[in-house]
Chains A and B, each alone.
Chain A
Amino acid sequence: MADNKSESKKVSRRKFLVRGGLGTIGVVAIGTYIFRNSIRREILGTVNSLDLPYTDNTDKPMIWFEVTSENNILLHSPKVEMGQGTFTGIAQMAADELSVSMSQIQVIHAASSTGNIDSFATGGSTSISGLWQPLRELAAMLREMLLKEASRKMNVGIDELTIEDGILSGNGKTMTYAQAAEGVENWKVPDTPVLKSLKEYKYIGKPIARVDLDAKVFGDPIFGMDAQMPDMLYGAVVRPTKIGAKFVSADIKPAENMPGVVKVIVEEDFVGVVANSMLEAEKAKDAIIVTWEGYEDLNTDAIFKIMTVGNGKSTIIQKHGDALDKQDGIETLEFRTPIGAHAQIEPNGVVASVEGDSAVIKISTQVIGLTRKEVASRLGLDVEKVNVIPTYLGGGFGRRLHTPHAVQAAVMSKAVGKPVKYFFSRKEEFQHDMFRPPTHHIIKGKLNAEGYLDGLEHQFVSGDVGNHSALIPDFLPPIIGADIGAIRGGFIQYTGIPNFRSVYWHVSLPFATSWWRSLGLLANTFAMESFMDEMALKANKNAVDFRLAQIGDDSIGVRLKNVIKAASEKANYSEDIANGRAMGFAASIDAGTPCAQVVEVSIVDNEIVVHKVTVSLDPGLAVNPDQIRAQCEGCVIMGMSAVLYEQMYVENGELQPTIYGPYQMALMKNAPKEIDVVLLQGKDTPGAVGEPPLGPIGAAIANAVRRLTGERLTELPLKLSKTM
C-alpha cells in the first residue's frame, strides 16, 4: 500500500461540533458536516441550489462518534448495512485512526435525529470510497482532542503520551478516553490532523470478520421486519394487481366489522386497514372491494416492442472518430434483456408512530433523508420532528431507494393514534417492485485487414433507472442528460479502436423501473462483451488477446488490461474444450473499478452448468479484502441467477410471476463449486466494490456456451435452443 500522507494535506478544514454530557450513553459526541458523494456532486455540479429531495439538513452538524463511559466508541453510520459490509469497513477505518481495538467500536445506524443523514443514499458502491477520507479525519480529530484533554488532566506532555486500545499512557500514568472526556466543557478543536500512514494501520487492509457476524448467526432481531413499538397494531394496504391501476373508491363495509379490525382508512390515493394482528389486517384487506381505473391490458410482447432501439429520445454518450457508415463488412448483433425483480428476501416493511406533531419511523431504507422528507411532507410535519431510525436491511440491491410505504404506515398510525407496522406480501413485492428495466441493444462492428476493430457502435434502449425515480426529480434529467443509471456499463471500453460511439435511447414504461444492483451494467456488459467475443471469433483471434490489443493506455485502460491478464492467467484461460467444459471470458469497468471473469461451463441435460468462476477485480486499496471477496462471490451468483434464470413477464396487464420458484433464481445446486478471486490494487484509495463484479458474468457464460455449442445466445435469460 502506498503512503497516503500527501493526500491528507489537500484536505479542506471541516467545521466540527462537539457535545458533552450525554448522560448515561456517552461522555462526548463529535460531528461535522457531511461529505457529498459522487453522484450528488455530479448532479449538484450542474444544478446547484435546486430543491432536491435530500438537500435539507446539510447546514446542521451531525453526530458521528460517542465515547461511552465504558471506554467504547459508538460510531453512528449514515450509511446502512445491507450485506455489503460497510459497517465492518468503517469500523476498521475508525478503529485505526482512533487507536482503539475493533472490539471497542460499535457501529449503529445513525437515526435521522442525530443529524447524520446521508446526503443521497446508500448505493452506487460509494460507501467505503466516499467515507475513506472524511471518516478517518473525524476519527483522527477525536483522537487529538482526547489526547489534549488527557495531557492536561494527567499533566503529561502530549509528545510523551502513547495510545493503545483507547488508553493513554505516559510518565508512568494511564487514562482512558472516557476519563479524558469526562467533565470537559470547552473542547479545543484542532485543525484536521495528519492521518496515520498506511503502514501504521492495524486493521485497514486486513480480512477482519464482519462486525455484524454474531448478530446474524445467532438470529438477533436486527431487521426492519423485526422492529416493534409498544401497543403496536398491524396495517395493510390494498394494492392493484394491474399495471397502471389508480385507486378510485372502495367499499369498506365488508371489512369494517371483521375480527380484530381497528379501522379502515380511505385516503385520496389508497385504502388501508389497521387490525390487531397481521393476519387479521390481511384478511380484512382482502374483503375490501376497490374500484380501479387507468389500467391497460398489456403483455410482454407489447413491452418489448416499445423497448426497441429507435424508440424514444436518443443521446450520444460517447463519440470518437467517424461513424460506421459503410455497409460492407459490418457485423451486427442484437441483444435483449428481460424485466428483472429485486427479489430481496426481506419484504419492504416499516413501523411508524405518529404522535402530535412528531413521528418515529423504524424502517429498512437506503434513503433515510428521502423517507423522512416524504413522511413529513404528507403529514404536514416539520422534517426535524420526524425521526427515521434505520434498521439492518434484509437485502437492498436498490429496492429500498424509495419507501412510499413509510408514508402509508404513518398515515395509518395517525388515524388510529398508535404505532402501526406494515409490510408487503410476497405477491405485492413482485408486482410492485421497481424493476430492472428490459433493454434492447444493436451493436455493429467492422474489422480491419489485421483482424481488429476499425469501428464499433453500441445503440441501446432502456427503461428508466435514475429518471423518474424519487431520487432524481423530473426537472433533472433534461439538465443532466442521459439517465445516469441506464448508461452504466454502456460505454465502449476498447478506446484503442479508431472509431466508436455509444448511443442511448430512453423509453419510460407504464410500470416503475428503477435502480437494480449495478444498474445498466448487467445488461450493457452482456451485450457488449458477447459482441466482442463474436468479433474475436470472426477475426480468428484469442478472445483475451483480441481485447488487450484494443484497450487504451490511459490509467483506467492499464488497470483494465491488468485485471484481464490476471484473470486469464489465474484461470489458465484456454479456448480448447476439455472434458466437455469450455471457458468463457468477459471484462467490464464500472464506477472506476475494472473486473474480468473467466467461467468454466458445461451442458448437462440441456442446462447450462457453471462449474468455476475466476474473478479479477481492481478496487484500489482494499480496506477489507475478505469482504471484497464476499462481494465478488455474491455478485457472481446473483449475476448468474439473473442471466440464467430470472425474468418477469406481463400477462393480461399483470406482472408475473408473484412467488419464488416460478420466479426462478439460482439455488445452492446452481452455484459454482469454485470461485477464485484475485484482487489487484491499481490505485491507492478505495474504489467501488459492491456492483462492478456483476458486469462480466452474463457475457462470460454466453461466450463459453458459444464455444461449446456454436450457438450465440443473444437474449437473457440464456436458454439453449437445441438439444445437446
Chain B
Amino acid sequence: MEISFTVNDVLQTVNVEDENTPLLWVIRDILDLKGTKFGCGKAACGACTLHVDGEAVRSCSYAVKFVQDKTVTTIEGLGNRENPHPVQLAWVEEIVPQCGYCQPGFMMATAALLKKVPKPTDEDIDNNIINVCRCGTYYRMRKAIHKAAEIQAEKDTNESNMV
C-alpha cells in the first residue's frame, strides 16, 4: 500500500507490502535516513526516537500506517551544520557524545521535551528522558539539556524582538 507523509519538510510517498512495517525501517531502509537508530526493536531503549507531528515516538514499534498525512522529523531534519537546533548546539558545547549511537534518540527526545516544557527542572528531565545510553553520558546530557533550554529561550527572545 501507498503511504504519504512529510519527512523533514519533504513530502514522501512510500510503497510497503505490510502497513504494520515499523516506521523505523521505512525511514532507514527505504528513505535512507540512517540517523535514526535501531537498538532493541521493542521500544525499550529509545535509540529510534523521532518526531511525529512534534511528539517523540519510538519508531521501531510504530507502524508506518499511522503516519499517513502526518509530519515526521528525524535528527537530519532537526537541524544541520548550517542551521543547528538549540539541542544540537548544546550537545556540541557540552561535548556530550561518546560512541554516539544513542545520541540522536536522546536529542530528539530532548527537543520534544523542550517544546512542552521550555525550562525543564531536573525532575522533568528524569521523568521524560528515559532512553538508554551505555557509555554513561547522562551527566553531560543533563547539562546540555539545561543549556539547550537557555539557547532556545534566547533564540525565542531574539525572534520576538525582531517581530
Using a CB–CB cutoff of 8 Å, the interface residues on chain A facing chain B are: 82-85, 209-210, 212-223, 225-226, 259, 277-279, 342-347, 392-397, 423, 425-426, 626, 630, 633-638, 640-641, 659-661, 665-673, 675
Contacts and interface: CB of A to CB of B under 8 A. Distances in A.
Q: Ordered nearest first, which 10 A-B pairs have the shortest CB separation?
A: A219-B35, A637-B136, A394-B101, A83-B99, A216-B100, A83-B98, A219-B75, A221-B34, A671-B138, A669-B126
Given A218-B88, A394-B100, A346 B80 contact: no
A225 B38 contact: yes
B127 A659 contact: no
Nearest to A639: B136
Contacts, number: 173
Contacts of B137: 630, 633-634, 637
Contacts of A397: 134
Given A214-B81, A218-B76, A218-B81, A344 B134 contact: yes
A396 B100 CA distance: 12
Contacts of B117: none
A668 B91 contact: no
A346 B135 contact: no
Given A630-B137, A660-B39, 6 more contacts: A83-B97, A83-B99, A395-B101, A396-B99, A659-B44, A660-B40
Given A216-B97, A660-B40, A660-B44, A395 B134 contact: yes
Nearest to B44: A660
A212 B84 CA distance: 16
Interface string B26-46: 000100011111111110110
18 contacts: A83-B97, A210-B95, A213-B97, A216-B100, A217-B97, A219-B76, A223-B34, A225-B101, A343-B134, A395-B135, A426-B39, A630-B140, A634-B137, A637-B138, A640-B136, A659-B40, A661-B44, A666-B138
Contacts of B39: 345-347, 426, 660
A666 B101 CA distance: 17
B25 interface: yes
B98 A630 contact: yes
A219 to B, nearest CB: 2
Contacts of A279: 18, 21, 25
B111 interface: no
A85 B140 CA distance: 15
Nearest to A426: B40
B46 to A, nearest CB: 9
B38 A277 contact: no
Given A221-B34, A225-B37, A209 B95 contact: yes
Interface in B53-87: 74-76, 79-81, 84
A346 B130 CA distance: 17
B125 A668 contact: yes
B103 interface: yes
Nearest to B128: A668
Given A394-B101, A637-B138, A425 B41 contact: yes
Contacts of B122: 673
A343 B133 CA distance: 10
Contacts of A222: 100
A602 B99 CA distance: 31
B153 interface: no
B129 interface: yes
Contacts of B132: 345, 660, 665, 667
A213 B99 contact: no
Given A666-B138, A672-B139, A219 B127 contact: no
Dominant SS at the B interface? loop
Contacts of B139: 633, 636-637, 671-672, 675
B114 interface: no
Contacts of B100: 83, 212, 215-216, 222-223, 392, 394
A218 B136 contact: no
Q: Which of A212, A225, A392 has the most CB of B within 10 A?
A: A225
Q: Which of B81, B95, B96, B135 has the most CB of A within 10 A?
A: B135
A634 B35 contact: no
Given A213-B92, A626-B95, A218 B80 contact: yes
B92 to A, nearest CB: 6
Contacts of A635: 136
A217 B91 contact: yes
A319 B107 CA distance: 52
Contacts of A423: 38
B45 A660 contact: yes
A425 B84 CA distance: 33
A346 B101 contact: yes
B52 interface: no
A638 B138 CA distance: 10
Contacts of B92: 209, 213-214, 217
A276 B42 CA distance: 22
Contacts of A225: 34, 37-38, 101
Contact of B104 (A83, A219, A671): A219
A665 B101 CA distance: 17
A429 B96 CA distance: 26
A345 B138 contact: no
Nearest to B122: A673
B142 A392 contact: no
A469 to B, nearest CB: 21
Contact of A633 (B25, B40, B80, B136): B136
B45 A345 contact: yes
Contact of A394 (B17, B88, B91, B99): B99
A637 B96 CA distance: 14
A84 B102 CA distance: 15
